Structure formats: C-alpha cells, structure tokens
Structure 1
Amino acid sequence: MKTTAGKDLSEYHLSLLKKRNITTPLEFMTANNLNKLLAINVEDIVNIKRELQPLLVSSAKLNELYQPEPFNYSTGIKELDALLDRIGQPLRPGRVWELCGETDVGKTELLYTLAVNFVSQYKESNQQVLFIDNKHSFSSRRFNQILLERKLDTATINKCLSVIHVAEVTTAKNFIETLEGMLETCFTYADNNDIMANIKLVIVDSVTASFMFMCSNFGRNQGRYFLTELAMLVRKLASKYGIAFVLGNLTMSYDSDEDGTEATDELQFQTGSMLGAYWSSVSTLTLALELPEGNNSDGLRQVNVLKNCYGISTGSCVLRITDAGVI
C-alpha cells in the first residue's frame, strides 16, 4: 500500500493491518483508530485515505455492492421462521430485534431457546452467543435441561454450553461498558483469535432492567444519555461487524390515566413502551409475546409483529413453551 503522503507504510504496518483483516482500500478507508494501531499521526492517516479514495471508486464492483442472496440464520423454531419469511425479515447478521412482553409471559424462555438453537445449529462454524443478563436471573440449569430434553449426548451438550457466554450487568453503565468492551474486542481481534470475536448473536434479558429505576428528573436525563450511548453501540456492532441482536424489553398495559379517565393512544404508547419513543427507532423488528386470548394454561403463546423496517408490519404465529424450550 504505497502513498506519497508522508512515509510509505512499512512491512510492519502492513502486518498489523493484515492481523486486523484490513487488506483492501475499502477496509482501510472505513477502519477506525488507525493512528493508534499504526502509531502514525492522524494527519498522515487522513492524507493516505485521501490518496486511496480514487482507488476505492475505480475498483468498486457491482457484486461487492449488492448481494441478492444474503446469508440468513434460522431461529430453530419452525412457526417463527415461517412468520419471519412471510414478513420478509429472517434473522440475519446485522439485524436488531426487540422482543416485548409483560412480566412472566415467557420472554426469557424464548430468549433461552433462541440462544440454544443458535449454538446447536452453528456449532461447527464456531459461531457463539453472548447472553447479557440484566435481571440477575440467568439459569444455566434451564439451558442444560433444554439440551437434555432434546436427547443430545454429553459431548454435544458441553460444546453448546461452552459457546454461550454470560455477562451479568448491574447498571446501565455496566451495560454500556460491556458493549464497549465487545466493540474494542471486535476491532482488536478481527482475525478471530479471541472468543469475543466469534460472537455473532447478542441476546439481552432485558434492556428495561437497567433503566426502569431511573425515574427521578436526574435519573431520566441520565437514562436518556445511556440509551443514546446504547443505541449507537448496538447499531455500530450490528452494521459494521454483522452481529445480530435480540433485545428483551418489558411492556406494561394501562387502561386509564392518573385521574381515572380513559387513556389516550398517545399516553398508552408512552407508558407501555417503558423506554420511550426514542428507543423504538433502534430495532429493525419488534415482536410482542402475548398470551392467546382465552387460553393461558397449556404453554401456548402468540407472537405478534409490532414493527418491521424491511417488510410487512403485521402478522402472528402461535408457539408453545415446553421442557425442551419454545417450539
């Protein structure tokens, strides 16, 4: 990679770039913190990028800009995959999903199942899951039970459990720090020599738990700041590193406002979303997990589409909670 801006990059610089999977003009142009990585002045990096820009434009190819058949994951749940196919939003690298529902409806069970199904299906390619537990209720025993109910051998169970990494966070700040650490790891270990660099799915149970106690005026302002930081981190990890997210979120229903009159749709939206209107712009798909009307005793749950940025925004399917997870 020769330039006339300052010194030519040395073989040592090129080896550093190669270790971070930065081997093309496009990758060099979009990489961050190159001055720190290469120990070069920011001005020199800017000049090098300026000289590389014509190469980037002239070498662009149509098949690099447009991929007609991007890679899709499977949730491992037949009815859910069918619904996602109907609405045009399969689970895919870089997608950000939100799973909403009231307390005890079964959100955690569905999140556990998605984690287990993911590592079970993609264990050969070493694709791993980061499960962020904001509620301090993570149950490794439940994960083990789900795998045992599927009649898997001990070696397979141990393999699946070893690639589900759990991070318990106590505050919104800890939550932010966890994702910041992941972002740093993705950049530093882009050659996949680190466990965190192999994480392709992040599941959060639940986003709300880190923010629901920020109810004072100061707390709300601090909460908005942390939500903004969280949104930017999620979007960067998704768009730049192709990590898929499934974010659990608590919703609550209100039939009336404080003076006892019937609540307006606007009030219901603001109170029901828990994290406010701003957060609703983060996800590409929002699903609601609910009890089917008139039936709440046999494990049945209904999944409704609330928002879809890439296709049809209505649809539903019925799932069942079993000892082997959600099916």
Structure 2
Amino acid sequence: MSESPPPGLDLARLAAHLERERPGLVRGPLSAQVVQGGRSNLTYRVTDGARRWVVRRPPLGHVLATAHDMAREYRVISALRDTAVPVPETVLLCEDPDVTGAPFYVMEHVEGTPYRTSEQLAGLGAERTRRIVLALPETLVALHAVDPEEAGLGDFGRPAGFLERQLRRWGKQLEASRSRELAGIDELRGALGRTLPVSPRPTVVHGDFRLDNVLVGPDDRITAVLDWEMSTLGDPLTDLGLLAMYSERQDVPGSPVSTTSGAPGHPTAAELVERYALLSGRDVSRVNWYTAFAYFKLAVILEGIHYRFTLGRTVGEGFDRIGELVPVFIDNGLTTLRKG
C-alpha cells in the first residue's frame, strides 16, 4: 500500500477528522490506495497498519453533488445494516468539503473478491461459478423484501411514476450527448414509452445490481453489496432487468460492459429471472421490457462517453471504440423488446 496519498484524499486531514469524530479509532499513520473498478465515485482502501476501512467520495472535479450524493449512499447502507442484505458497517459521514475537498464517508473494509470477467470465474470451475452467480437473484430478493418504512427509508425516493421519470431522464441524457445519427434509438425509446408496464409495489432498488458490484467470500457467499449511488425507492424489476442484461452474452470485442456470462457454469439470464420469480413470488412476465430498458440506458451511457471522447474530454485505452458499440446495444434492446 503506497505511503504517498492518492489523488483526492488528504490523509492528514482525514486522520485529524477521524480523531475528532471517532477518538481512538485510528491508531497509527494512515496509508491508502485507490480501489480499481469503480465507474463513478472514487473508492479508497485505507489502513492504519492494524485495521482497514474504505472511503468513498465523488469524482475529482465533479460539481453536481446530487449525482454523487455521499449522504444518500451512507444512509441506505446504514439502514440496511440490520437486514438480510449484506452491506459493510458504516463508520462516519462527512459532508464538509473542506476536510478532503469533497463530501465523503467511511465504512468498514469487507473481505471478498469482485468478479469482473469470465476469465476470473473460469478459474473457479463451473460448479462454483454457478453457485456464486445464483446468489445474485437470492440477494436481490432479500433487498426487495426490505420494508422501506421499517428500515427508515420511507422517504428515500418518489416511487409514483417511477418508470415514466426514468425513461424521461435517460431520454434527456440522450439529447444532451446526441451528436450523430443513431439508427433505432428513437424507435427504442418510443416503444418503451408506449409499452410501460404497471409497476409492482415499490421497494428499495439498488440501481446497478450486477456481479462486479458485490464481494464474494472464499465460501462463495456474497459478503457485501457495494456501489449504492443509484439506489432509490422504485420498481424492483428494474434491478432484475439490469441483472438479466448483464447476464446475456454480448460477444462484442472491446465492449466496456462488464459481463461474465461466457464462464463455464454461468447461469443464463432466464435461469436468474426464474430463480428470482421463485423466491420472490413476483410476476416477471414483463421482464423483457425491463431488460430492453437496461439496454437503452447502457446505449445512452455509452453514447455519452463517445460524445465526450470526440470532444477530447475522455482519455484512456478503448474509448476510441466505444462509439461503434452503441448500435449493438440499441439492436439488442429492440430485439429484446419485440419478444414481448
């Protein structure tokens, strides 16, 4: 672990703040490293040599606090601590940007592995892979079984009109980054709007639930669900549709979308949906709409990245190919939606 502080985290100020707020918690000089794999908020692993914690803060230079609300993440993780949903124990929330340059929160470090690729899972063998992936719908059922009122999350979102607002939001995102003709994107958005399902009773939704947003222990059990920045109250089947999308074979060379579906033993999307339906008792007959909506969201996100790349605002390996992937996700969305 590096001795020099990573970008965006002043270790001396962090240590001083922790000593003020939680005297005796830190027992030695802090060191830290950035945890790779996060797609939005920054995550650091911090230690005093004896104990380890995780610190989360918004991206460097980010000014839209509502899009990366630390208090929101901290609140939902804290609220879920005494439920069947595995989450880290929260330590402290700091909304004062003067401490480290941005609001942040601290939580306990949880042991576990984030599986992000088919190659990682292939090394475990088919039986273990199947057991790990089938734990995803089981964990999702546990999350959706949480009573928001009892957990203190009754005002965590506005579930009425949730799907309409989501579709409108992502439509606005599309317009904000529209710089070229995208065949089928307006057709997909229009068809989604004309065929909106009737949402079931609202629940806490994660918003980005997939394999690489959980930690898995050596016993193949999920030890923690991470990355709650998109959580709210809404339609639980949006989580299921996203999980199904990430579990379908993409077979797109260079795709930035993390998928492990090619690993031997990996359950199909249909198996994951069936497992969720069996354990939750929910009607999943419209799951194709939710999966198509997930494809639409990913197409919009990828187009936004492509647009920023054309403006020279995004650098890094692989960004030059993202633009050619967008039509693939549009086509997948249309194909999925036509299945009914």
- Shorter-chain TM-score range: under 0.3
Q: TM-score, length-normalised on structure 1?
A: 0.26
Q: Please tell me whether Structure 1 or Structure 2 has the larger radius of gyration of its CA atoms.
A: 1
Hey, which of these two has a bigger chunk of strand by percent?
A: 1
**Higher RCO structure, 1 or 2 (CA under 8 Å, sep 6+):** 1
